[in-house]
Amino acid sequence: MRSSIQSWLAIFELWSFFMFCISFFLSFLFRLFLVFLFCSFLLRQCYSNYLIPFYYYSFLHCPFPLFSLN
């Protein structure tokens, strides 16, 4: 009986670790996706014809003028 409980605990521990790895990987991917969205938003603000006032101080000139669409 004791070995059966130990085997179930080992299975539960492995399953918990597996689910933790999956959740950590998915949260990492989600944070990477949010960074990508934020960077694309900033680049879109930089390369558009208008600048919103909040970003005006940092995008008075584009950091990559060769690729500017203006």
Q: Give per-residue pLDDT as tens, 26-43.
A: 999 999 999 888 887 777
Residue 65 CA to residue 44 CA, distance in Å, equals: 13
Model pTM above 0.85: no
Q: What is the largest CA-CA distance in the chain?
A: 75
For the chain, the structural domain boundaries read 2-67
Q: Is the CB of residue 45 less than 8 Å from the CB of residue 60?
A: no
Residue 64 CA to residue 67 CA, distance in Å, equals: 6
Residue pLDDT, tens place only, 19-29:
999 999 999 99
H-run or E-run covering 39: helix 2-47
CA 55, distance to chain mean position in Å, is 22
